[in-house]
Amino acid sequence: MEIPTKNAEEEGGENFQLDVQNVEEKGQENDEPFQFKGSKRSGLSRSIKAKRIRVLREGSSESRDIRLLETESLGKILVIDGKLRSAEKDEFILHECLVHPALLFHHNPKSVFIMGGAEGSSAREVLKHRTIQKVVVCTNNKELVNVCRTNLTKNKEAFRREELNLVFKDAIDELEKSREKFDVIVGDLAEPLEEDASFMLYTKYFYEKTIKPKLNPMGIFVTMAGPAGVFTHKGTFTTIYQTLKSCFQYVRPYHAYVPSYGDTVGWVMASDQTNLLLEPSQCNISLFDGLIIIKIEGGQLQYLNGATVIASSLFNKIVSSGMMNATDIPK
């Protein structure tokens, strides 16, 4: 995604564009505050300031600018093309929510394919499950993998695990050519823009022709689905929900607030074989607490528990209405 060149309010640009004009060299420290600037689709803007910034690593891959920055307020932050991708202080919320609900709903997940996920955080969470035998992380951004493998301490062990298979290819090509099927497929990707190559990974054609044939019986697909707040849910989140609903028999959207994003983030799970993705009213808190104890190494997670898993699928009236009324489905 390119940094917007026009006024964010006029363009409805991406939120959290990073102003790094005073940060030129790796290892440079800067006492001047910096800001994440930008506008969500609603026209709202927000800024985050820190007193010190140090560039740990910079790179350029596939026409994308990659910066791993160290800050006082957010810890290490990963910035791609000027947009905040994740922050050390709260990335566990993003990646626990992306990975664990699908793996908890699945009765016995052994194989997982991750589209994107170059920073290694999703793989780290997948590998907490005792039953996992194989994790494929498919990304065409080798430089980003190298940056994160070297500098993100929490993910170093995951990159060393023998169950992890790194594939540096286009996710569409790899899935279409692969003879393997997977218990869970994870979309750990940037928000789709029509001018961006990743847009194809959010279309009805891709879900029907590529994702569904590569899922094992009882398989589950889950994807990041963008902002899901009262003012920001229309567009990416509602469109992904309706698109998956048009392709799969059972779909479960859910959400959580991520402080570094300053907004609620949404995810969507989908399955086509059986009603694995029960409605919140059919779920039991103690059931999920028990599954976490049984299925996950260490028996607990930092953010998710049974109550949080269930509550995450309860939406307010405004967002629920937006999901039901969305009609823009990319073909």
If residue 259 lies in a helix (H) or strand (E), which one and from where to where?
none
| Distant-in-sequence, close-in-space partners of 320: CB < 8 Å, separation ≥ 6 | none
DSSP 3-state helix, strand, coil percentages of the chain (rounded to 5)? 35, 30, 40
Which DSSP symbol is given to 249?
Answer: S
Burial 164-199 (b: 16+ CB within 10 A, else e): bebeeebbbebbeeeeeebbbbbbbbbbbeeeeebe
Identify the CA nearest to 310 among candidates 12, 104, 6, 53. 104
Residue 188 falls in the annotated catalytic set: yes
The alpha carbon of 32 is separated from its chain's Cα centroid by a whole number of angstroms, namely 31
Q: Is 24 left (phi over 0), alpha (psi -120 to 50) or beta?
A: alpha
Q: Report d(CA 114, CA 118) in Å as an integer.
A: 9
Rg of the chain over Cα atoms, rounded to whole angstroms, equals: 19
If 0-12 CB within 10 Å is exposed, 13-18 middle and 19+ buried, where does residue 107 land?
exposed
Q: Report d(CA 198, CA 201) in Å as an integer.
A: 5
Looking at 19, 170, 173, 188, which residue is catalytic? Answer: 188
Do 222 and 268 contact (CB within 8 A), yes or no?
A: yes
Enzyme catalytic residues: 188
